[in-house]
Amino acid sequence: MPSVKTSPTKEARPLAAAPPQRIWNLQRQLAGNLIPIVLSLPTAIYGLMYMVSHSEVMGKGFWIFESSPLIGWLAVNYLGLWGNSQLRHIMHERLLGMRPKITDKRYFVGMATPKHSAWLDPHEDVGFLILHPTKLEFYGDHIKTTMDKRDVTAIGFRANAHTLVGLGRWVSIEGRIGELHIRMKVELREKSTLLGNMLLSKGLKRKLQAWLKETEPQG
């Protein structure tokens, strides 16, 4: 009976871990920015139609139309951070998964680099701003970046799209490396409403300014 030769089985190589699914995506950005428009637009359209059908400007139709911006403002404030608590939870789990013993102060924020420009949402990424003794770190969904304390020159406010409706602003961390100007812009997302976060932004600015004045530990 002929013998059957078998070749030794090659040892299986472990597969590389797949990168985590991107959570700050177009779908989430659309939800937070289009829902307020969807809620306020029907009122504006109905008000205009009423004015045209009744051939009047200053009347019931006008006041219906005028209520649309208020509805839009309330919707932006309460729904502009749609799904924010879930985003925070996911990013918190990721951070602790990578660094289970982290104790540094951290804040959940939206962040943008100086080159970022978008018509849909001012936040380029979402994640945690971490205050280490010698540096600032942004640990985000798809952006990871740091700024050394020695390179930071000022902490201030800058306007963003939320500022136009009185519901937000950047806390801007300005710096310089040689002749190169650097900047990291963050907006708090600790609360579920834009107004709630804007009211906290003054405190974040003070904490960052206090952090900047702290003496770096000697190596």
Q: For residues 123 and 158, state if they share a domain.
A: yes
Alpha-carbon distances of 209 from 18, 41, 152, 172, 212, rounded to whole Å: 39, 42, 10, 11, 5
Considering the domain boundaries, does residue 219 fall inside one?
A: no
Q: How confident is the model at residue 58 (pLDDT cuts 50, 70, 90)?
A: confident
- Please report the pLDDT score of residue 7 as a whole number: 43
Considering the domain boundaries, does residue 176 fall inside one?
A: yes
Q: For residues 100 and 119, state if they share a domain.
A: yes
Q: For residues 52 and 135, state if they share a domain.
A: no
pLDDT score of 98 more than 80:
yes
Tens of pLDDT, residue by residue over 157-167, are 999 999 999 99
In angstroms, the CA 217 to CA 219 distance is 6
Tens of pLDDT, residue by residue over 156-198, are 999 999 999 999 999 999 999 998 999 999 999 999 999 999 9
Average confidence (pLDDT) over 80-100 = 95
Considering the domain boundaries, does residue 11 fall inside one?
A: no
- What mean pLDDT, rounded, does the chain reach? 86
Q: For residues 184 and 106, state if they share a domain.
A: yes
Give the domain range for residue 46. Answer: 26-79
Tens of pLDDT, residue by residue over 111-163, are 999 988 877 799 999 999 999 999 999 999 999 999 999 999 999 999 999 99
Domain containing residue 151: CATH number: 2.30.29.30
| Last-in-domain residue among 79, 101, 117 | 79
Considering the domain boundaries, does residue 93 fall inside one?
A: yes
Considering the domain boundaries, does residue 15 fall inside one?
A: no
| Last-in-domain residue among 46, 61, 79 | 79
Q: For residues 208 and 127, state if they share a domain.
A: yes
User: Based on the structure, what is the number of domains in the chain?
Assistant: 2
pLDDT score of 67 more than 90:
no
Q: For residues 57 and 89, state if they share a domain.
A: no
pTM of the predicted protein model: 0.83
Q: Give me the residues paired with residue 157 across strands.
A: 171
Considering the domain boundaries, does residue 218 fall inside one?
A: no
- Please report the pLDDT score of residue 4 as a whole number: 44
Q: For residues 113 and 172, state if they share a domain.
A: yes
Longest dimension (CA), the chain: 104
Q: How confident is the model at residue 19 (pLDDT cuts 50, 70, 90)?
A: low
DSSP letter, residue 167: S
- Please report the pLDDT score of residue 219 as a whole number: 55
Q: For residues 62 and 146, state if they share a domain.
A: no
Considering the domain boundaries, does residue 4 fall inside one?
A: no
